[in-house]
Amino acid sequence: MGHGNISIFIPHLGCPNSCSFCDQKIISSTSHAPSPDEAEDIIKGAFERITDPSDRADTEIAFFGGSFTAIDRDYMTELLQRASKYLKTPDKDGFRGIRISTRPDCIDEEILMLLKKFGVTAIELGAQSMSDRVLEMNNRGHSSADVIRASEMIKDYGFELGLQMMVGLYGSTETDEYHTMTEFIKIAPKTARIYPVCVLEGTRLAELYKSGEYVLYPFEKAVNICGVTYCGLTSAGINVIRMGLHAEDGVEKRTIAGFYHPAFADIVRSDIVKDVILKYYMSHMSGEDRNKTIEIEAPPKLYGAVYGHKRSNRLFFESKGIKIIVSQNTSLSPNEISINKDVQNVFKIT
């Protein structure tokens, strides 16, 4: 089955700030915070559905959607107690662990010891940006120093660290985006998520957008920035586990601007692969070799990305008089893309 999450959303509870972009009730498609009984029903249902012990051992219970370590302590403890009943132990099948998301300024030693007690294995921090100017303009209520401090503590306590960033925030520039990427690489989390901004109705960003004070990147530029960031992080050994918000109706219906697309990650990967092939073509083919057929062998995970989202790459090359033919080669690796790796380590192009 591969790694999976049993996601339980705790919408907008405990958060001390009203960030410019945020409406967690919409992002989680619910305004209802589940009771401990409801949360356990979700976990129990997944436990009964996932019967293979190895699949269970590769699955995490994930509390997302709010600032988990800032919610009411009794409520948080009860949720953790219910979840911990379904975790793997030396003498019992169960899920691998518990994953939570929270704010960088809601981490301290006391909370980390509590999380460790109940079997939390991974903590994701909503860093969003490593520019203090951008954080202040978007009313985040924490600094880049808080991200670094919390990250060091999380790793010192033996948790898997994840960092989340947002591309296209109010006041952010392309330089700010790449600065965040560079700082993430220095911190060296295990995982990262890249969220291009979606402007949701009813948020401060929506007001700024409607007034003309907040101007978004063109969609193509946001795709390119996310692609460079993705490649930079993966080159550093950081696993990018998400690009773009989940395709939830609550987001789609309330988005008035920004970079929401249900296939955003596919679009970014297609754009990366297009650039890889184009650079190879320009540097290795000239004269009579140009405007001919390019045959490409690709690892299975990148087979679709070579043709592009909705065959965008195929159409791009055809517009230049180039035909591409793609075949799968299971011996090729890696299955992810890195701008720091020679193209022949990813594809075979002739």
The string of DSSP letters for 18-62 reads --TT--HHHHTT-SPPPPHHHHHHHHHHHHHH---HHHHTTEEEE
Q: Residue 53 above 80 pLDDT?
A: yes
- How far apart, in whole angstroms, are the C-alpha atoms of residue 59 and residue 37? 21
Angle between helical axes of 109-117 and 144-156 (0-180°, round to 10): 40
Environment class of 48 (CB within 10 Å of its CB; exposed 0-12, middle 13-18, buried 19+): exposed
Provide Rg for the chain, Cα atoms.
Answer: 22
| 27/221: higher pLDDT | 221
Token look-up 């700082």 returns 183
pLDDT for the residue 341: 46
**271-295: pLDDT as tens digits:** 999 988 888 777 776 666 565 788 8
CB 208 within 8 A of CB 170: yes
Q: Which of 243, 265, 240 is nearest to 338 (CA)?
A: 240
> Which band of pLDDT confidence, cut at 50, 70 and 90, is reported for residue 24?
low
Q: Residue 160 above 90 pLDDT?
A: yes
Mean pLDDT of 260-280: 90
Which DSSP symbol is given to 89? B
Q: Residue 101 above 60 pLDDT?
A: yes
Token look-up 């297009």 returns 274
Amino acid in position 244 = G
| Average predicted confidence (pLDDT) for the chain | 88
Peptide bond preceding 334 in cis form (omega within 30 of 0):
yes
What proportion of the chain, given as a percentage, has pLDDT over 70?
A: 86
Mean pLDDT of 60-70: 90
Mean pLDDT of 293-319: 88
**106-138: pLDDT as tens digits:** 999 999 999 999 999 999 999 999 999 999 999
This prediction's pTM:
0.89
pLDDT for the residue 2: 53
CB 322 within 8 A of CB 282: no
Strands (E), the chain: 4-9, 59-64, 97-102, 120-128, 160-167, 191-196, 198-200, 239-243, 255-258, 293-298, 323-328, 348-349
| 319/13: higher pLDDT | 319
The SS3 assignment for 256 reads: strand
Which DSSP symbol is given to 87? B
Which DSSP symbol is given to 5? E
Kindly compute the dihedral angle of the four CA atoms of residues 294, 298, 301, 305, in this order, to the nearest 10 degrees: -10
| 337/87: higher pLDDT | 87
> Which band of pLDDT confidence, cut at 50, 70 and 90, is reported for residue 331?
confident
